[in-house]
Copies of this chain bind each other. A is one copy, B any other.
């Protein structure tokens, strides 16, 4: 008799509450949560209480507001180390950063969305969660398209259904068919581009990180602005980028079971 999306059980509901609070930019009051919530007041109240004394939410007594708690940050750190490519890719990215002196991204795909896992900034160094954990669309980012191009057909199809095909800029690809044929192109060359498709003035080249069966487990990209570079000039880095992707892939392969 239940329906709401795909929410299983009580923990499903609790997590949904977290999600709801996550989309708010700033700490929220109970009533604000309630307003948007599917659940009745008393139920929501209990959920929020439970989450709070679990440290998943943080209650600010001053203002009576709730925000996502630090326990999440702590857990995420473990997640990041345990199931992302970041720890493996780290040294290779450092090297690539010094070689190219451009902004780099490491990303993986999660449910059709691009999830940025690590970043190297051209000018200022290391800024962790500012980018790690950030998500982006698949259909109009270099990393997104690179990964999509190297997914198993079944997974690709599923991921494509998750794309919004929102038109961020005038270059954004907004139809599934157009995207599909671009993906075919990408899978021939092993290189994806972002021609200001997500943000005006921002371009990038991206290469997939492949497992032994030739499926993408992530991607890296090299980003610049149209002021400083063109796609053509970025192409100078093609081999370095691809090489780094390959090295990460190899490292990931042999990283299984270090025990």
Contacts and interface: CB of A to CB of B under 8 A. Distances in A.
B22 A75 contact: yes
Interface stretch (A6-14, A161-169, A193-201): A6-14
A18 B22 CA distance: 19
Nearest to A134: B77
A76 B72 contact: yes
A68 B79 contact: yes
16 contacts: A9-B10, A11-B14, A11-B47, A22-B78, A24-B82, A26-B257, A68-B82, A70-B83, A73-B133, A74-B115, A76-B129, A86-B130, A120-B126, A121-B126, A128-B132, A129-B132
Contacts of A129: 76-77, 80, 86, 118, 132-133
Interface of A: 6, 8-12, 14-15, 18-19, 21-27, 47, 50-51, 53-56, 58, 63, 67-84, 86-87, 90, 94, 97, 108, 110-111, 115, 117-121, 124-135, 256-259
Contacts of A110: 55, 70-71, 74
A83 B27 contact: yes
